[in-house]
Amino acid sequence: MNQKHPDNPVVLHPWLLAMFPVLFLYARNLGELDFGDVVYPLAASLALAGGLYLVLRLPVRSGQRRGLMMSCLIALIYSYANIASLARSALPLPPGRWAWPYYVIWILIAAAALAVIARLKRSLPYWTKILNVIALSLVALNGVRIVAAVPDKLAVWQGELTIPEPWQGPDLKADAQRPNLFILVFDQHVGFPCLKRYGYDAGEFIDALRDRGFHVAENSAANYWMTPYAMAGLFNYTYLDFILEQIPEGFKGHQPAFKLTRDNRAFRFLKEAGYTTIQCHTDFLYAYENIDNVDIRINPDRWYTTALSRELISNTPLSLRTPVLLRRSILTAFEETTRLCRLDEPFVVFTHFLSPHPPYVFDEQGNFPGPDSAFADFDVQFCADEDKRELRLYLAQMTYLHKRIIEMVDAIQANSKRPPVIILQGDHGNRLQVKHCQDRQLTPEAAMELFSILNAMYLPGVDTDGLPDAVSPVNTFRLVFDRYFGTDLGLLPDCCFYPGPSGRLFEDVTDLVLEGLK
């Protein structure tokens, strides 16, 4: 009852501060998350506050002092990444088990802060009131932003997205030997012309693929500049202009692309053809790419359930485990994808490898990079350093990735019980030059780098001599379905789209990309 006395205000701030990081991240990423994505992280953060309350309840008798300590620890827990970043600048260490000094520094800071709070005497009610107001304001501001977005989100999810092109199903009368399909996407893998610009010799990798029967479409370009739209175009084998006419005017967000990926035409087509559908992805950053109703979902690491969970954990003392978990996730995905060859029934597997996209967790030999690795940064702009340190990390990770790709291809070709179609593809290119482009006005060099992608196809029984040297992802399933499943989809013109200065979501920048590829 004493806490309701004017001089003993109710202690609300620890619980509000526990909610704030979750609501803040959710409010910042409204276009990429569902309403349900906030539930488990919010519950986990409140459970963290509850655990601190139970730990401090006996040794700290004063409720206000206990609340101050709880808020201090919550703030320090969610600020760990910033504290470690400052410490890393003074004491660079490689990721993983060698980074324990950062924990020690953080613990010393926490101990000093708790000692100061323990010595406070008469100012407890004052600090409680101040923190209550601050915490309530932080939660309210983000809550208002989230509530304001509800109409737009509901408008998209309650509506239907209709692909204008008529549906063509598989020719089930043709009793042909249906191949297994391996759709293997490597995030941010630029194409070979771009690698040549970087001074990187990919000749050995290209020759190894061709020796194994691959058609290497060296001049291929992505259709879209970022993963959600790239995946939606790939798996629905059509361009996405139609969504602009079917979403609420002024809506900003990527949910239409997510929806098209979750319920996509390619997997519906293959289910109708009797295929087992499988998804395996290492990309906890893009958990919204989960395809609905797949028969088998392989999650190499269940540590992260949503992108929001990953972002929260990356700010806490658990963040030092992130590179270890990501390495394990990528390596396990290679193993699990290869192991699928043992299945008797025809299947399609989509594996999205978060590599060579940062964070950088492999050097050329597959070891952890050195202490200057940007392993914790998911959106490094490589040209920020004059010595191109980030570019070297990117290319080193790619070198190891190429080695693992060849090993995986050899295992698939040697052990498959039916002919395998293997698609090796980047979702989009790199962003080295994009940051230098003002008002989204791409230069030819930036456009080439952003859209040039890896694209190599192993198509058993198909004469690849007539295939073009540039095949964009929107035509991948069109080519496969026409060759193996009796459809007559044909190929679409290869186009590249980017949100231009006019404000339109899809501006055609194909000519810029082609100019950059010359």
- Examine the pLDDT at 479 and tell me if it is beyond 90: yes
- Examine the pLDDT at 21 and tell me if it is beyond 80: yes
15-24, 101-110, 437-446 — which is least confidently predicted? 437-446
- Examine the pLDDT at 200 and tell me if it is beyond 60: yes
> Residue 376: what pLDDT?
45
Report how far residue 208's alpha carbon sits from residue 405's, in angstroms, rounded to the nearest whole number.
Answer: 10
Report how far residue 383's alpha carbon sits from residue 357's, in angstroms, rounded to the nearest whole number.
Answer: 15
508, 497 contact by CB (below 8 A): yes
Model's pTM, two decimal places?
0.82
Which class would CATH give 181-517? alpha beta
Report how far residue 84's alpha carbon sits from residue 315's, in angstroms, rounded to the nearest whole number.
Answer: 10
pLDDT in tens, 454-476: 999 999 988 888 888 889 999 99
460 burial level (CB within 10 Å; 0-12, 13-18, 19+): middle
Count of CB atoms situated within 10 Å of the CB of 351: 23
Give kind and range of the element (H or E) at residue 407: helix 389-415
- Examine the pLDDT at 513 and tell me if it is beyond 60: yes
Model confidence band, residue 251 (pLDDT cutoffs 50, 70, 90): low
How are the residues of the chain apportioned to helix, strand and coil, as percentages rounded to the nearest 5?
55, 10, 35
Structure tokens at 514: 């082609």
β-strand partners of 349: 182, 278
Model confidence band, residue 323 (pLDDT cutoffs 50, 70, 90): confident
β-strand partners of 262: none
120-134, 153-167, 407-421 — which is least confidently predicted? 153-167
- Examine the pLDDT at 113 and tell me if it is beyond 90: yes
Q: What is the mean pLDDT of residues 230-252?
A: 87
Q: What is the mean pLDDT of residues 260-267?
A: 93
Give kind and range of the element (H or E) at residue 291: none
Closest C-alpha to 146, from 37, 231, 299:
37
37-46, 292-301, 329-338, 435-444 — which is least confidently predicted? 435-444
512 burial level (CB within 10 Å; 0-12, 13-18, 19+): buried
Q: Is 393 helix (H, G, I), strand (E, B) or coil?
A: helix
Eight-state DSSP code of residue 379: S
Model confidence band, residue 202 (pLDDT cutoffs 50, 70, 90): very high
217 backbone dihedrals φ, ψ, rounded to 5°: -85, 85
Residues in the chain: 518
β-strand partners of 185: 352, 425
Question: Burial code of 75-92, b = ≥16 C-beta within 10 A, e = fewer?
Answer: ebbbebbebbeebbeeee
Model confidence band, residue 407 (pLDDT cutoffs 50, 70, 90): very high
Residue for token pair 């190891």: 400
246 backbone dihedrals φ, ψ, rounded to 5°: -115, 0
457, 471 contact by CB (below 8 A): yes
5-9, 192-196, 258-262, 477-481 — which is least confidently predicted? 5-9
Q: Is 25 helix (H, G, I), strand (E, B) or coil?
A: helix
52-66, 103-117, 358-372 — which is least confidently predicted? 358-372
Residue type at position 497: F
Domain boundaries, the chain: 2-158, 181-517
pLDDT in tens, 78-110: 998 888 778 777 776 655 555 678 888 889 999
> Residue 320: what pLDDT?
61
More confident residue, 182 or 259: 182
Count of CB atoms situated within 10 Å of the CB of 137: 12
Model confidence band, residue 179 (pLDDT cutoffs 50, 70, 90): very high
- CA geometry: angle at 89 spanning 83 and 90, to 5°? 95
167, 481 contact by CB (below 8 A): no
Task: Give me the half-sphere count of Cα atoms (radius 13 Å) on the Cβ side of residue 265.
Answer: 25
Count of CB atoms situated within 10 Å of the CB of 32: 20
Closest C-alpha to 486, from 273, 128, 171, 137:
171
- Examine the pLDDT at 420 and tell me if it is beyond 70: yes
91-105, 146-160, 337-351, 380-394 — which is least confidently predicted? 380-394
Report how far residue 367's alpha carbon sits from residue 352's, in angstroms, rounded to the nearest whole number.
Answer: 21
The secondary structure of 212-264, three-state, reads CCCEECCCCECCECCHHHHHHHHHHCCCCHHHHHCCCCCCCCCHHHHHHHHCC
> Residue 146: what pLDDT?
85
469, 219 contact by CB (below 8 A): yes
> Residue 1: what pLDDT?
39
Angle at which helix 63-78 crosses helix 80-90, to 10 degrees, equals 60
More confident residue, 180 or 361: 180
Structure tokens at 445: 């060099």
Eight-state DSSP code of residue 456: E
pLDDT in tens, 206-225: 999 999 999 999 999 999 99
